[in-house]
Amino acid sequence: MRAIPLLLSAAMVTGCMTQPQPAGRSAEAQAEFQKLTAGKVAGQPISCLPSYRRGEMVTIDDGTVAFKNGQTVYVNKLIGECSGLDNGFLTLVTNSSGPGLCRGDIARVADARTGMTYGSCAIGDFVPYKPS
């Protein structure tokens, strides 16, 4: 119950900069999203992320991941949910069809410890959030 007052306080402090919470997103996931995009403005979506390093991906929830590249954060709403992605031991394994990670590329959910696959989803568009 303590997370709700903290989230409301954060919303009051950021005022108009606060993004609306998508239906189904938990308070913890919304807090992670707010942390990643604080002080940043959303740009036009792009279909491909030319390059990224493995450690730059942050899971927001089962349907949303973000990639940090310097001060820019690229938020990706996955096409279909990658169930279990937010449990800490599962990760996305991608097969890219082009020079980078692009919309429509298939991402499999795999256990980082065993390599066992649990499902898949597809990569959506990347929304860049840059410092304002």
Q: List pLDDT tens digits, range 57-89.
A: 899 999 999 999 889 999 999 998 788 887 777
Q: What is the pLDDT of residue 14?
A: 35
pLDDT tens per residue across span 98-115: 778 999 999 999 988 888
pTM over 0.85: no
Q: Is the pLDDT of residue 127 over 50?
A: yes
- Name the DSSP class of 55: G
**pLDDT band at residue 8 using 50, 70 and 90 as cut-offs:** very low
Q: What percent of the chain has pLDDT over 90?
A: 47
Q: Report the mean per-residue pLDDT for the chain.
A: 80
Q: Residue type for 70, please?
A: G
Distance CA 34, CA 15 (A): 12
Q: What is the pLDDT of residue 90?
A: 85
* Cα 84 to Cα 5, 42, 79, 87, distances in angstroms: 27, 27, 15, 6
Q: What is the pLDDT of residue 48?
A: 92
Q: What is the pLDDT of residue 35?
A: 95
